[in-house]
Amino acid sequence: MPDTDPGPAGSADRRLRRDVMRLAGPMTLAGTAGVLVPTVVLALVSRLGPDEMSVRALYTPLAFLFLAVQMAFDLSNQAGAAFHRGQGTDRNVPAHAVSLLRVWVGIGVVIGALLAVAAPALTDALQVEPEVRPQFEAFLRWMAAANLTLPGSVLAASCLRGTGRARAAASITLTNAVVEIAGVAALGHGTGLGIMAVPVATALAGLSGTLLGLAHLRRAGLWGRPLGWRPDALRRLLSVGLPVGVSYLVLFAMNLALLWVLSPFGRNIRDGFAVGVAVQSLVIIPAIALGSATAIIMNQHRGAGRLPWLDGTLRAGLRVTFVVYAALVPAVWLGRDVIGRLMAGDTQVAEEGVRYLGVVAPTYLVFGMVLVAVTAIEQVGGGLVALGLNTGYTVGIIGVGGLLARRLDDPGALYMTIALLNLAGLAGVVVAIRFVRGLSRSQPSAPEPRARLDLGKGGR
């Protein structure tokens, strides 16, 4: 019976670590490609001119609004696919995804319409320079439209990841990345589009990813009828996706507030901070991948009724994370000067990005473990706990770091606050472990068939 299963020990623990790494490898590659897209696009846009660079830098926090919606549906679908895989009901995966697709498209249309109307007010709130206001408003409206092409590829990839086919899922993300970067590079110069090449390339990437995703789903036997409404999809969206989405909205608000905090220091400081954050987004991808891989395995155990295995699975993910970041952090910190020069054509902008990394990068070992813990629990029913941790982190950065930077007239005070809060995040790891331990000792909500854990041989 599931309640008498003692959980993993010895060789089982080693197998869990291997399973986490097997899934996380392709997911890290895909995540890296996903983050490299805005990073490379930022570098390409910087070559178009200072006004275009400012438009893209100003869009960075607003991108979290679209990302909040994307991650809410992505992780809800991934959790559902993993649960059905563990339960042995793969036939429900397509209908689960299509149910979420219908809701996502509706929400995306509403958000796009609201942003189109609110664009002038946002330019005022962000204190956008008069010479770039028209470009920024047009860019925001077109990006809102371009994001409507993404749901198909995102949901297809999450179906594949949740059922253990991480490599197939990664191929979708990699294709999207190649198409978008190539589109910006080809259309940005000589076509008259300029920065408007970014939304065009985004739309092309979304459409190509959707076609490839459908092909992978058919090949895996994960596409076909019935495609009717799945009530558990909405329940999962509320229990997993809503807290995840709100967490990203909190990050959206934080980044918006940080632009306000840094606005008195001038364009170079603001854009340099955006460069540092872009690099940080790349550095944390392995942690996000490891956290998601851990959550996929945990949800497969939940579907199979093996709740005692949840605690050991989370600990296995944290051990792998420690090893990965013990190697990664020194490389980032020692190479920060080179990274800064590669990221920004303007020397002063690059210097500010390097300054940010010099203060914050040494804390990424702890921050990586925090991200794994938070990413894992928000996909297994701990969304409110994760939201609380994210909110506390945001309030600390803005309420303490932002005010100190303004009062001391030094953005370095903000950077130091971020670093200290990253280290304080160890308390969040403890909270996550305690939450999962309690979940491991609970009983399944309903009798479920005991199924073999199947990771799809590392993600076919």
- Percent above pLDDT 90 for the chain: 37
Phi, psi of 354, deg, nearest 5: -65, -40
| pLDDT per residue as tens digits for the range 86-137 | 888 888 899 999 999 999 999 999 988 998 888 888 888 777 777 788 888 8
In this prediction the pTM is: 0.79
The stretches of 131-284 forming alpha helices (DSSP H) are 133-146, 151-162, 166-187, 197-219, 231-236, 242-262, 267-283
Report residues of the chain scoring pLDDT below 70.
Answer: 1-11, 225, 345-346, 443-460
Best CA proximity match to 279, nearest among 27, 31, 38, 25: 38
Identify the pLDDT of residue 129. Answer: 78
Find out whether 184 and 197 touch, Cβ atoms under 8 Å.
yes
Q: What is the pLDDT of residue 444?
A: 56
First to last CA, the chain: 31
Exposure class string for 372-407: b at 16+ Cβ within 10 A, else e: bbbbbbbbbbbbebbbebbebbbebbbebbbebbbe
- CA–chain centroid gap for 417, Å, is 23
Residue-wise pLDDT for 326-352, tens only, equals 999 999 999 888 888 877 766 788 888
Q: What is the pLDDT of residue 1?
A: 35
